Structure 1
Amino acid sequence: MKYSGYLIDMDGTIYLGSEPIPAGKRFVDRLQEKEIPFLFVTNNTTKSPASVQNRLANEFDIHVESKLIYTASLATIDYMKDDVKGKKVYVIGEAGLIDLILDAGFVWEEEKPDYVVVGLDSEVTYEKFTIATLAIQKGATFIGTNSDKNLPNERGLVPGAGALISLLETATQTEPIYVGKPEAVIMEKALDRIGLSKDEVLMVGDNYETDIRSGINNDIDTLLVLSGFTPKSAVPSLPVAPTYVIDSLDEWDFDK
């Protein structure tokens, strides 16, 4: 099937940590040459789209407009704007999350916010968890940017945003609203951004649990590329098969 647009994961698909995946760059180059619409969709909330844009250009020689980078931070903002509960927010996260939320018109509040938003925070403290716990107990809507329990880096599988969110879920006995992949929120907002329907796009990624599940759970065709998180050995036992599985993005034919 020929697709009108592509939703694309980044880490493990276009690059792997600090290492480039050459086939990933060639994949983006081919999309640009063919003028096929695409949108990078990432659960990473630590960097702004502009920062990601600069990193792609400077480290991987991939040149795109920042509007083509849709992060879980932006999806969280879009969700809160639609929810219209209020503008007061407390955030556990880094600059790529906090700055974007405040720039979008939300106001910092620790005592009784309308929302508590939790993303990855490499400098999280007990006090931050305490403030968030008390706010949720007072009725703040509890939002988790994504459910990733671990993140792969050069040291191994380190705690992800989902691990921090799980601590607060235990402390408050409150289930969060998850926004990032594989949830419907980020996928529906990404489709709005790219201006295409579910049956017109292909979700491309290396992680079955986030990227591919985001397609399967939301009726979007999927392309699993075996360049990152999910190994080839796991493919035969996946509970629901991806639409396509390839070893390298070089194998993908846009015209088939």
Structure 2
Amino acid sequence: MKTYLIDLDGTMYSGNTNIDGAREFIAYLQEKGFPYIFLTNNATRTKTQAKEHMLNLGFKNIKEDDFFTSAIATAKYIAKNYSERKCFMIGESGLEEALKEENFIFVEDKADFVVVGLDRKANYTKYSEALHHILAGAKFIATNSDRLLANNGLFDLGNGATVNMLEYASGVEAIKVGKPYQTILNILLEDKNLKKEDIILLGDNLETDIKLGYEGNIETIMVCSGVHDENDIERLKVYPTKVIKNLRELIKE
């Protein structure tokens, strides 16, 4: 029995708007006992906040352990590969919680790392401070590089826009952890004791969800409910195993 790795933004919901078929699909997985993990590049929410958001949208029986975010993967990646623990963070509560769980210390000077996640309240001063640390030699690490974030039928700037800005200003390329980079998948597989052949990647974004599976030789299902549709496949040269219009198509009696 394969484990579904399910994207959130654009696949389960768009901001505070339900995506048709998503609640029914999760209820179906729960009823049949099919395992799943919500694998999201969105580093803003804690696991508790992510759970509450889905419950508020009408999903049932959602647990904190159902979520694996780019924030969690980033904190685990740094902790595994480096001994230093002082970081300057751009991000919200999800990234803050993940870094604290791995015993990182937040500093304003002499940072070992600049860790960048989506921060909807960050300003020019904060971005400039991050730049100062990078130019002083701090390792530059990004939770993810999403260009866009689905939000109630529109698209907001994704974290990738901020990362690109800092890369351009500093001349330093960030280490990127989230989808489509294999780093997030390798960390999840190790953490959950899974293998590539044990999973199916489900998402709306060819550049992140589907590319992760395509480049990792993993089964993928693209749902046309978010960033991309089937018209983008040939343009981006990223090929899902299967394309569906609505998650109801995966529900079998």
CA RMSD across the alignment: 1.9
Separation in 2, partners of 1:93, 1:29: 32
Match of 1:176 among 157, 163, 174: 174
8 A contact 2:206–2:233 mirrored in 1: no
Residues 194 and 6 (structure 1 numbering): CA distance in 2 closer, same or farther, change over 3 Å? farther
Residues 164 and 15 (structure 1 numbering): CA distance in 2 closer, same or farther, change over 3 Å? same
Residue 84, structure 1, aligned to residue 78, structure 2: no
- Could you list the per-position Cα deviations for residues 2-45 of structure 1 after superposition, in whole angstroms to 9, with x for gaps in the alignment? x5211000122112222212411121112112212211001111
Separation in 1, partners of 2:27, 2:191: 21
Look up the match of 1:150: 148
Deviates more, 1:69-78 or 1:222-231: 222-231
Residues 178 and 55 (structure 1 numbering): CA distance in 2 closer, same or farther, change over 3 Å? same
Look up the match of 1:240: 238
8 A contact 1:187–1:218 mirrored in 2: no
Separation in 2, partners of 1:251, 1:194: 28
- Could you list the per-position Cα deviations for residues 136-156 of structure 1 after superposition, in whole angstroms to 9, with x for gaps in the alignment? 122211001111122232484
What are the within-5 Å matches in structure 2 for residues 1-256 of structure 1? 3-154=1-152, 156-252=154-250
Q: How many angstroms does 1:236 deviate by?
A: 4.9
TM-score, structure 2 normalization: 0.93
Separation in 2, partners of 1:107, 1:245: 43
Q: How many angstroms does 1:238 deviate by?
A: 4.5
Instruction: Give the % identical residues.
Output: 37
Q: How many angstroms does 1:47 deviate by?
A: 0.7
Q: What are structure 2's unaligned runs of at least 5 residues?
A: none
For residue 51 of structure 1, what is the amino acid of its counterpart?
A: Q
Separation in 1, partners of 2:82, 2:234: 44
8 A contact 2:230–2:243 mirrored in 1: no
Separation in 2, partners of 1:194, 1:27: 22
8 A contact 1:5–1:200 mirrored in 2: yes
Deviates more, 1:175-184 or 1:121-130: 121-130
Deviates more, 1:51-60 or 1:150-159: 150-159
Q: How many angstroms does 1:180 deviate by?
A: 0.8
Residues 130 and 185 (structure 1 numbering): CA distance in 2 closer, same or farther, change over 3 Å? same
Deviates more, 1:71-80 or 1:188-197: 188-197
8 A contact 1:4–1:36 mirrored in 2: yes
- Could you list the per-position Cα deviations for residues 115-169 of structure 1 after superposition, in whole angstroms to 9, with x for gaps in the alignment? 1101111111222122211211222110011111222324843221111111111
Deviates more, 1:3-12 or 1:235-244: 235-244
8 A contact 1:222–1:243 mirrored in 2: yes
Separation in 2, partners of 1:61, 1:240: 31
Separation in 2, partners of 1:39, 1:99: 19
Q: What are structure 1's unaligned runs of at least 5 residues?
A: none
8 A contact 1:37–1:194 mirrored in 2: no
- Give the length in aligned residue pairs: 253
